């Protein structure tokens, strides 16, 4: 008997081994944000799938069916953004308990349809099944990217700079506000709750990075920088030094952490669900990068640190250095 795999990433690696190597037209198989297939017109077809499980990823105590519909598409679009791609089509598998009203399933559909229209995506198929233990949603999204522009997790090189497209820890802080019923001023709490309920896939930034060739590696933040940067490191065969003082932790996130006696940096590094883009860029392109984002009307990316030789993600702070590789969210951990 083979030894059982360890944790979510060990399971994925063991499964990938069972499935074997993909055929030649598959430009990217298991191990990136999307699979990519060569398409005759010089594009790659991007293909991604994400599942949301009631009581694992969400609860109806904090999320309406309509919000859930929009979010189930948004988390998939974030993976298309993470390749520099443009989303086109979606398929939905909806598992719904018999004792939950179907009117709520229609509300879910309304939220998904509104998000699809907003992002120019067509829902073209799927499946509906009974799911006695709770709602289970799987959305598949297909997208396109010019083959030469596609950005992967592999490609980061020592001395490349590490950037993120927006603040860290907001969604995690928002979820904590909802779960713990924290008392915070409305203007502090609202944007954090919004970040959890209504994530915004960074499609424009992804396309900009791919089209301008300003990035060497790209991933979206679903599990937290500590895990997602480590994915870039492992795919690229490099290490990373993060400077704690540079991490964009909004005051609201720090306020939530204070109330719960948590370290704000833990929310920023391990919280997950930020759905910002994390990318690496050659050091001599930093000025061009800020200029390109500004010209596109996008907020300036924030520099977090530097790619180094090695294999670990290291957090550099006044308290000393610490290895944080893979310490973000992990199913089965």
In the complex, the residues that contact Mg ion under the rule CB under 5 A are 33, 79, 220, 222
Residue 220 C-beta: closest distance to Mg ion, Å: 4
Closer CB to Mg ion, 77 or 121, in the complex: 77
Closer CB to Mg ion, 96 or 230, in the complex: 230
Residue 50 C-beta: closest distance to Mg ion, Å: 8
Closer CB to Mg ion, 49 or 113, in the complex: 49
Residue 219 C-beta: closest distance to Mg ion, Å: 6
Tokens of 1: 């008997």
Torsional class of 275: left (φ above 0), alpha (ψ -120 to 50), beta (otherwise) = left
Q: Which residues are paired to 159 by β-bridges? A: none
- Secondary structure E strands in 189-328: 217-220, 239-243, 277-281, 302-308, 313-317, 320-323
Closer CB to Mg ion, 82 or 255, in the complex: 82
Residue 8 C-beta: closest distance to Mg ion, Å: 13
Residue 159 C-beta: closest distance to Mg ion, Å: 25
The rounded distance, in Å, linking the Cα atoms of 272 and 117 is 26
Q: Which residues are paired to 96 by β-bridges? A: 130
Closer CB to Mg ion, 33 or 86, in the complex: 33
Closer CB to Mg ion, 79 or 306, in the complex: 79
Neighbours of 122 (CB within 10 A): 12
User: By C-alpha distance, which of 241, 243, 203 is closest to 220?
Assistant: 203
Residue 83 C-beta: closest distance to Mg ion, Å: 9
Residue facing Mg ion at closest CB distance: 33
Helix (H) or strand (E) holding 56: none
Closer CB to Mg ion, 240 or 256, in the complex: 240
Residue 273 C-beta: closest distance to Mg ion, Å: 11
Is there a contact between 236 and 162 (Cβ–Cβ < 8 Å)?
no
Closer CB to Mg ion, 202 or 222, in the complex: 222
Handedness of CA 274, 276, 277, 280 (dihedral sign): negative
Name the DSSP class of 313.
E
Neighbours of 24 (CB within 10 A): 7
User: By C-alpha distance, which of 219, 180, 214 is closest to 196?
Assistant: 180
Side-chain half-sphere of 93: how many Cα atoms within 13 Å?
11
Residue 277 C-beta: closest distance to Mg ion, Å: 10
């Amino acid at each position: 008997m083979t030894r059982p795999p360890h944790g979510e990433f060990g399971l994925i690696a063991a499964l990938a081994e069972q499935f074997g190597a993909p055929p030649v037209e598959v430009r990217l198989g298991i191990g990136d944000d999307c699979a990519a297939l060569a398409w005759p017109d010089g594009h790659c077809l991007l293909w991604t799938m994400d599942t949301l499980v009631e009581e694992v990823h969400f609860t109806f105590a904090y999320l309406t069916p309509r919000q859930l519909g929009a979010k189930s598409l948004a988390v998939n679009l974030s993976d298309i953004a993470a390749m520099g791609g443009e989303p086109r089509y979606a398929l939905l598998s909806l598992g719904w308990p018999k004792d939950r009203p179907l009117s709520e399933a229609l509300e879910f559909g309304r939220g998904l349809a509104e998000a699809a229209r907003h992002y120019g995506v067509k829902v073209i198929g799927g499946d509906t099944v009974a799911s006695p233990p709770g709602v289970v949603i799987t959305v598949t999204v297909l997208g396109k990217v010019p083959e030469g522009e596609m950005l992967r997790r592999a490609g980061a090189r020592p001395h490349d700079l590490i950037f993120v497209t927006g603040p860290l820890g907001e969604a995690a802080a928002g979820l904590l506000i909802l779960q713990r019923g924290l008392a915070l001023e409305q203007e502090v709490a609202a944007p954090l709750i919004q970040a959890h309920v209504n994530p915004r896939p960074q499609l424009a930034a992804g396309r900009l990075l791919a089209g301008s060739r300003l990035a060497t590696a790209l991933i979206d933040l679903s599990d937290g920088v500590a895990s997602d940067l480590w994915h870039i490191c492992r795919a690229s065969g490099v290490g990373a030094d993060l400077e704690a003082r540079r991490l964009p932790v909004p005051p609201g996130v720090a306020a939530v952490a204070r109330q719960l006696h948590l370290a704000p940096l833990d929310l920023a590094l391990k919280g997950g669900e930020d759905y910002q883009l994390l990318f690496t860029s050659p050091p001599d392109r930093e000025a061009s990068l800020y200029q390109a984002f500004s010209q596109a009307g996008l907020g300036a990316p924030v520099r977090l640190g530097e790619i180094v030789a090695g294999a670990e993600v290291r957090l550099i702070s006044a308290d000393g250095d610490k290895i944080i590789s893979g310490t973000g969210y992990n199913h089965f951990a």
